[in-house]
A and B are shown apart, each in its own frame.
Chain A
Amino acid sequence: MDYNINHIKELESESIFVMREVAAQFENPVLMFSGGKDSILMVHLAYKAFFPAKIPFPLLHIDTGHNFPETLEYRDSLVKKINAKLIVGSVQEAIDKRLVVEEKGFNASRNGLQTAVLLDSLEKGKYNAALGGARRDEEKARAKERFFSHRDEFGQWDPKNQRPELWNLFNGKHHIGEHFRVFPISNWTELDVWQYLAYEKVELPSLYFAHEREVFERDGTLLADCDYITKRPEEKVFKEMVRCRTIGDMTCTGVWRSNATTIEDIIEEVATTRMTERGGRTDDKRSETSMEDRKKQGYF
């Protein structure tokens, strides 16, 4: 008897189970969509989980105004293709309305402002479950995250007081005003994601593939040159073949020297690399527990 499935099929099955559990347990879920490969994977899995019905929740994008233009293009064409509902929370709008205040200085980033806009968008839409594409292998605070992660009425995470999660049993019970963050792809590694996207032949934003771009170096990381970053006088712009391993804001997403122009090249690169994918994220480098601190506040 050989009833056996390989590891990405098992992960796929686990993620589909968790998504269906969200649809069954929550009356008003939403899928947080950043335009990165992990949220693209999430949409792909959600499509499979509910086929032939439509995905039973809208996509929520927190638009910092500092996105790579390629990200927005991709987002809009995906939404059209699968006939999904898209909700956009705008950081620029929140700044204009003085709900949040923009950071100043050379390392200014809108990363922290996203949290306030995200929480505001969740509250406005009365969403009681927000699905996210975070993975445990990404970062040490995320390694402690549950599939169903409880948030109090302030949207805060209490890492020391998390609900135990056993077998296939997910407890999504909550009081009014509280919500859950749900992470169906918790157990996927970066390599699993790429292997699966290649296997499924999923179309991806061009940013993930090596291309020539104007870049400059800051604290050992290459950043894409753009109007959103104030460069120091000594920071010189040059051209380089690069690609993104993660996609966030242009202000904090490092790009990598790479010649990987196909998904197979990327898999080979990921399988042999010696740096984690978030190694280029300057938002994580602010302190040793920068992710934990932000997550406690309600960051994704």
Chain B
Amino acid sequence: MSDNINSELLRFTTAGSVDDGKSTLIGRLLYDSKSIYQDQYEQIKTASERRGEDGVNLALLTDGLKSEREQGITIDVAYRYFATPKRKFIIADTPGHIQYTRNMVTGASSANVALILIDARNGVVEQTKRHAIIASLLQIPHVVVCINKMDLVDYDEEVYNKIQNDFEKFAAKLNVQDVHFIPISALLGDNVVHRSDKTPWFDGTTLMYYLENVHIASDHNFIDVRFPVQFVIRPYNDEYHDFRGYAGRIAGGVIKQGDDVLLLPSGFSTKVAKIHGPEGEQKEAFPPQSVTIEIADDFDLSRGDMIVRKNNQPEVTQDLDIMLVWFDSDNTLRVNGKYTLMHTTQTIRCVIKQLRYKLDINTLHRDESNPDIKMNDVARVVLRTTKPVFADSYSKNRITGSVILVDEGSNNTVAAGMVI
């Protein structure tokens, strides 16, 4: 573990089943970075023995819930933490099976890196394609494909090359930009933290080196200024009698003191008077900072409004073209149904106007004749909102381009969507 305070935070997601060695890989990363504590290790050792297993089952580290342990599968997203002297890592560990697509999507929504595991003996299978499609849908900036169990194919370069080829051929149809391949054995540790001498033909880096060095500083959008007002701060005390600050998290761009800005939806222009950060006043602010902004003129902003630049505005619209992932197990998507829509800091109502097609997340096939959208299905829809939203395409900005739908009866989150 590291006590370096100036390390960056990297969030990555893993998807996979028990069989492809995902838990072993996570266990290896935690173990080799000395992030498994002695009492944790003893706890899972005791639990493994009680279950009659040979050796220590590292999967028990990530499977926290009673039902997960009973069934030996990961059901929910589990978050794991480890750090090296260079970076601090948050793993969103998700199950890989198709019936848990919604959990994979959840884990992928905040990830910088998607880690896709392939069993070298099986090559690219349906599950691999599904994970790649999800990484593409959720626009995870970096994808690293670990071809695992190389020890079981005699560290054969040809096997590795064929799998890389197959994956690249498939990925060409997707929107994934930065893809890396690494031959590993999670069980024996080859190319995970330490370079393997069994793969002399491989001139790339180890997985840990990749995770520590992949360039993530530009994963945020620093171009297009977007500041959704989250909360209005009015102290009502003597010292700050007339203070009115707009609190929020920068969703895009760099906002500087003195900048000319435009307020949405009013369309009024003003200047940024002051920016207050957690350590006091600051001259500029950028994603993902949480700040409080004072503006120069006496305009009234409220939650859901947005501060932008005059010459760089999001789309102001009531019609949204959305790629939707359906989450609800109780009800299917209702065309013409009304839902609560949450987008940035706005909560409004919407109606599903049109279902364009259902997307098969194993084959990318577009099915226009199937109106039955169930849990874990992906569909392209058109929404109409009761009030204008200030949206960008998801590929431009993950924050201003994403929505969730809430069922008005149950209050459950029934879908997540990306603006096309």
Identify the A interface with B (CB < 8 A). Answer: 1-14, 16-17, 20-21, 23-24, 48-54, 136-137, 140-141, 143-144, 159-160, 162-169, 171, 173-175, 186-187, 189, 191-192, 195, 199, 267-268, 270-276, 279, 288-289, 292
In the assembled complex, the CB of B156 is this many whole angstroms from the nearest CB of chain A, namely 37
26 pairs, A vs B, C-beta closer than 8 Å? A3-B286, A6-B5, A6-B6, A9-B278, A10-B288, A11-B9, A17-B249, A21-B230, A49-B290, A50-B233, A52-B237, A52-B240, A52-B243, A53-B235, A53-B236, A160-B76, A166-B416, A167-B109, A168-B399, A173-B340, A173-B406, A174-B411, A187-B79, A271-B1, A274-B37, A276-B37
Q: Are B65 and A144 in contact (CB under 8 A)?
A: yes
Q: Are A141 and B278 in contact (CB under 8 A)?
A: no
**Which among B99-107, B161-169, B357-365 touches the partner chain?**
B99-107
Report Cα–Cα, A75/B276, bound state, in Å: 28
Q: Are B78 and A144 in contact (CB under 8 A)?
A: yes
Report Cα–Cα, A5/B250, bound state, in Å: 13
Report Cα–Cα, A90/B312, bound state, in Å: 56
How many A-B residue pairs have C-beta atoms within 8 angstroms? Tell me: 186
Using known A-B contacts A17-B230, A144-B64, determine if residue A288 contacts B47 with beta carbons closer than 8 Å.
yes
Q: Are B38 and A4 in contact (CB under 8 A)?
A: no
In the assembled complex, the CB of B99 is this many whole angstroms from the nearest CB of chain A, namely 13
Q: Are A159 and B76 in contact (CB under 8 A)?
A: yes
Q: Are B88 and A7 in contact (CB under 8 A)?
A: yes
Report Cα–Cα, A186/B92, bound state, in Å: 13
Q: Are A160 and B65 in contact (CB under 8 A)?
A: yes
Q: Are A292 and B233 in contact (CB under 8 A)?
A: no
Report Cα–Cα, A23/B78, bound state, in Å: 27
B222, CB-defined interface residue at 8 Å: yes
Q: Are A7 and B217 in contact (CB under 8 A)?
A: no
* Residues on the A chain within 8 Å of B7, using CB: 6-7
Given contacts A5-B288, A20-B247, A189-B81, could you give 9 more A-B pairs where the C-beta distance is less than 8 Å? A6-B9, A24-B345, A48-B278, A49-B247, A140-B61, A141-B64, A164-B416, A189-B83, A275-B38
Using known A-B contacts A160-B75, A189-B81, A275-B37, determine if residue A14 contacts B239 with beta carbons closer than 8 Å.
no
* Residues on the B chain within 8 Å of A10, using CB: 9, 288
- B residues 156-200 near A (Cβ < 8 Å) are none
* Residues on the A chain within 8 Å of B348, using CB: none
A2, A7, A52, A166: the one contacting B402 at CB < 8 Å is: A166
In the assembled complex, the CB of B222 is this many whole angstroms from the nearest CB of chain A, namely 6
Smallest CB-CB A-B distances: 4 pairs = A140-B64, A166-B109, A7-B9, A173-B411
* Residues on the B chain within 8 Å of A289, using CB: 65-66, 69
Report Cα–Cα, A167/B402, bound state, in Å: 8
B331, CB-defined interface residue at 8 Å: no
Q: Are A24 and B399 in contact (CB under 8 A)?
A: no
* Residues on the A chain within 8 Å of B398, using CB: 167
Using known A-B contacts A13-B288, A24-B231, A187-B90, determine if residue A195 contacts B106 with beta carbons closer than 8 Å.
no
* Residues on the A chain within 8 Å of B67, using CB: 160
B297, CB-defined interface residue at 8 Å: no
Q: Are A20 and B290 in contact (CB under 8 A)?
A: yes
Using known A-B contacts A49-B247, A141-B64, determine if residue A169 contacts B403 with beta carbons closer than 8 Å.
yes
Q: Are B406 and A24 in contact (CB under 8 A)?
A: no
B2, CB-defined interface residue at 8 Å: yes
Chain B 57-83: CB-based contact to A (< 8 A → 1; otherwise 0): 000011111110100000111111101
Using known A-B contacts A167-B109, A171-B342, A173-B340, determine if residue A143 contacts B64 with beta carbons closer than 8 Å.
yes
User: Which residue of A has the minimal Cβ distance to B61?
Assistant: A140
B110, CB-defined interface residue at 8 Å: yes
Q: Are A195 and B3 in contact (CB under 8 A)?
A: yes
Report Cα–Cα, A156/B150, bound state, in Å: 46
Q: Are B406 and A8 in contact (CB under 8 A)?
A: no
Report Cα–Cα, A3/B2, bound state, in Å: 23
* Residues on the A chain within 8 Å of B39, using CB: 275-276, 279
Report Cα–Cα, A144/B61, bound state, in Å: 12
Using known A-B contacts A14-B288, A169-B404, A191-B3, determine if residue A164 contacts B106 with beta carbons closer than 8 Å.
yes
In the assembled complex, the CB of B42 is this many whole angstroms from the nearest CB of chain A, namely 10
* Residues on the A chain within 8 Å of B399, using CB: 167-168
B155, CB-defined interface residue at 8 Å: no
In the assembled complex, the CB of A229 is this many whole angstroms from the nearest CB of chain B, namely 22
B208, CB-defined interface residue at 8 Å: no
Q: Are B38 and A274 in contact (CB under 8 A)?
A: yes
* Residues on the B chain within 8 Å of A164, using CB: 102-103, 105-106, 327, 413, 416
* Residues on the B chain within 8 Å of A168, using CB: 249, 251, 344, 399
User: Which residue of A has the minimal Cβ distance to B75?
Assistant: A160
In the assembled complex, the CB of B93 is this many whole angstroms from the nearest CB of chain A, namely 9
A9, A11, A143, A271: the one contacting B80 at CB < 8 Å is: A143
Q: Are A3 and B38 in contact (CB under 8 A)?
A: no
Report Cα–Cα, A187/B90, bound state, in Å: 8
Using known A-B contacts A13-B249, A273-B37, determine if residue A141 contacts B65 with beta carbons closer than 8 Å.
yes
Report Cα–Cα, A271/B4, bound state, in Å: 10
User: Which residue of A has the minimal Cβ distance to B80?
Assistant: A143
Q: Are B222 and A1 in contact (CB under 8 A)?
A: yes
Report Cα–Cα, A141/B412, bound state, in Å: 22
Report Cα–Cα, A182/B399, bound state, in Å: 21
Report Cα–Cα, A101/B110, bound state, in Å: 45
* Residues on the B chain within 8 Å of A20, using CB: 230-231, 247-248, 290
Q: Are A165 and B411 in contact (CB under 8 A)?
A: no
Q: Are B217 and A3 in contact (CB under 8 A)?
A: yes
User: Which residue of B has the minimal Cβ distance to A25?
Assistant: B347
* Residues on the B chain within 8 Å of A175, using CB: 411
In the assembled complex, the CB of A2 is this many whole angstroms from the nearest CB of chain B, namely 7
B40, CB-defined interface residue at 8 Å: yes
* Residues on the A chain within 8 Å of B5, using CB: 6, 8, 195, 199
Chain B 240-258: CB-based contact to A (< 8 A → 1; otherwise 0): 1001010111010010000
In the assembled complex, the CB of A55 is this many whole angstroms from the nearest CB of chain B, namely 11
* Residues on the A chain within 8 Å of B366, using CB: none
Using known A-B contacts A51-B276, A163-B413, A171-B404, determine if residue A7 contacts B8 with beta carbons closer than 8 Å.
yes
B289, CB-defined interface residue at 8 Å: yes
* Residues on the B chain within 8 Å of A49, using CB: 247, 290
Report Cα–Cα, A129/B307, bound state, in Å: 29
Chain B 275-304: CB-based contact to A (< 8 A → 1; otherwise 0): 010100000001111101000000000010
* Residues on the B chain within 8 Å of A4, using CB: 8, 217
Report Cα–Cα, A268/B4, bound state, in Å: 11
Q: Are A292 and B66 in contact (CB under 8 A)?
A: yes
